[in-house]
Structure 1
């Protein structure tokens, strides 16, 4: 074990972000940031939490259903989000157009999802095709 004080991590200045934060320069507004948004098909998600461990500023496990959900499109770098997508064992995370997010959210709200871990739960159909 090294002689470093673990409390230093809480006093250290944050590293500069690799990508700019929300500032009106998003691709939908003609900016130069990422051209696509990330989306979790919660009907397919098994709640493994891999994505939330890899890209913790982008994904969170929704507490009522136990499925991952995107909380910030600009939370992590594109490379880190792609790494999280690559770790998903059921391919439920997709790159989609920003203009498709509202429709996908409405579809999600219309789904009858059961909390994960219930015995004999019937899994709903995917909202997006496999890549």
Structure 2
């Protein structure tokens, strides 16, 4: 059995993996878990956004904190931001759970912080 040497010029040296934006790269090292803000508990104190400015931002419509980048700050700085949270709404979670957590959060009818409570859009039919 003979192997055709021209195959070496047609095959890729490595399999190319399309980036999806969820790569937790920090200085070339992979972080084991993702940072997640449970916005249903968040009180909008802004402490985390002041400590880890490249990771957390205050969501403009609801006034709650949100993790916008997994590789924005060092693990130590993110952990410091987690420690400043007065209601413990920031957690380390497996990356695989992020989509499920986001879907659960999107299903909730959260009220804007700093505004008077309003009748939920889902409950408006029942109130009338």
Note whether the superposition's TM-score is higher than 0.5: yes
Distance 1:108 1:120 in 2: 19
Distance 1:85 1:50 in 2: 9
Instruction: Give the total of aligned pairs.
Output: 98
| Structure 1 unaligned blocks of 5 or more | 1-21, 122-131
| Structure 2 unaligned blocks of 5 or more | 1-18, 119-128
Question: Alpha carbon RMSD of aligned pairs, Å?
Answer: 2.6
Q: Does 1:34 align with 2:31?
A: yes
Q: What does the per-residue CA deviation read over 1:93-128, in whole Å, with 9 as the maximum and x for residues that have no partner?
A: 00000000000010111010000023457xxxxxxx
Distance 2:65 2:21 in 1: 26
Q: What does the per-residue CA deviation read over 1:68-100, in whole Å, with 9 as the maximum and x for residues that have no partner?
A: 001000000000000000000000000000000
Do the aligned partners of 2:44 and 2:113 also contact (CA within 8 Å) in 1?
Answer: yes
Which residue pairs with 2:68 in the alignment? 71
